[in-house]
């Protein structure tokens, strides 16, 4: 025997523990864990919590690019080459637990551990598909349908058998940035969804599984309203 066989690499254990080039961080709600324009020197893995990626234009306008949940990577531009700057900022929406992986350690794991590189490649492919779906959604769907899809993604569709999911605290301004509309339009659609029984909300939003059903079957009522129905006109005389 040439020695004991190498144990299979455990990606889940690797991403849940500290080690050489890996550090677990606790981040408060509204705290940024990397900023636009800063050197991209590490990759982050979100163990628990919710976060958002935002960008700021040269004119100072901020936009939310995407939302992140447990199991997502962020800051993967760090593995391209040295000297890259962050293209956006990552900020916790709720208290988060993160694994910070230094660039050299991330590259080592990708090159040496095939199970981990397969895992990371799968994540990047799924993210690419999600980004493509987001673009299609932005180009072809109404703002009401985009809001419904965003709420469902935040709820992660819930667990099988559950009637709904309580999503992390998120403002109407953030939802408006994500779907490309105004806060007043989001408020109008949220009130409409609540009246139709798709959501409940006060300080937090509860997304019912019925919203998934109507979106999958394209059954949002016809009055999906690019504008509110403010006036009912009387019938024309014959």
pLDDT (0 to 100) of residue 217: 62
Which of 45 and 3 is assigned the larger pLDDT?
A: 45
Strands of 86-226, DSSP E = 89-92, 96-102, 164-166, 199-201, 205-208
pLDDT (0 to 100) of residue 229: 35
Provide the 8-state DSSP code for 230.
-
Tokens of 237: 């005389």
Which of 212 and 208 is assigned the larger pLDDT?
A: 208
- pLDDT tens by residue, 181-206: 899 999 999 998 998 888 888 778 88
Average pLDDT, the chain: 83
Sign, CA torsion 122/73/173/87: negative
Structural domains of the chain in order of their starting residue, each with its CATH number: 11-137 (2.60.120.10), 142-216 (1.10.10.10)
Provide the 8-state DSSP code for 68.
E
Q: Above 90 in pLDDT, residue 143?
A: no
- pLDDT tens by residue, 28-60: 988 999 999 999 999 999 999 989 899 998 888
**50 burial level (CB within 10 Å; 0-12, 13-18, 19+):** buried
The confidence band for 232, taking pLDDT boundaries of 50, 70 and 90, is very low
d(CA 26, CA 97): 5
pTM of the model: 0.73
d(CA 158, CA 167): 10
- pLDDT tens by residue, 88-120: 999 998 899 999 999 999 999 999 999 999 999
């Amino acid at each position: 025997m040439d020695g004991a066989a190498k144990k299979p690499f455990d990606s889940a254990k690797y991403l849940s523990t500290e080690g050489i080039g890996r550090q677990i961080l606790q981040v408060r709600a509204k705290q940024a864990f990397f900023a636009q324009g800063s050197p991209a020197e590490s990759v982050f893995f979100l163990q628990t919590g919710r976060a958002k990626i935002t960008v700021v234009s040269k004119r100072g306008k901020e936009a939310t690019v995407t939302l992140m949940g447990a199991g997502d990577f962020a800051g993967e531009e760090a593995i391209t080459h040295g000297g890259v700057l962050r293209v956006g900022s990552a900020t916790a929406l709720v208290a988060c637990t993160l694994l910070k992986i230094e660039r050299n350690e991330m590259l080592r794991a990708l090159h040496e551990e095939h199970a981990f590189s397969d895992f990371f490649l799968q994540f990047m492919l799924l993210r690419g598909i999600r980004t493509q779906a987001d673009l299609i959604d932005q180009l072809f769907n109404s703002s009401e349908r985009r809001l419904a899809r965003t709420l469902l993604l935040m709820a992660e569709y819930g667990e099988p058998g559950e009637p709904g999911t309580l999503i992390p605290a998120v403002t109407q301004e953030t939802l408006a940035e994500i779907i490309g509309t105004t806060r007043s339009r989001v408020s109008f659609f949220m009130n409409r969804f609540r009246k139709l029984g798709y959501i409940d909300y006060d300080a937090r939003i509860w997304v019912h599984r019925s919203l998934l059903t109507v979106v999958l079957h394209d059954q949002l009522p016809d009055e999906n309203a690019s504008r509110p129905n403010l006036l009912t006109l009387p019938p024309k005389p014959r």
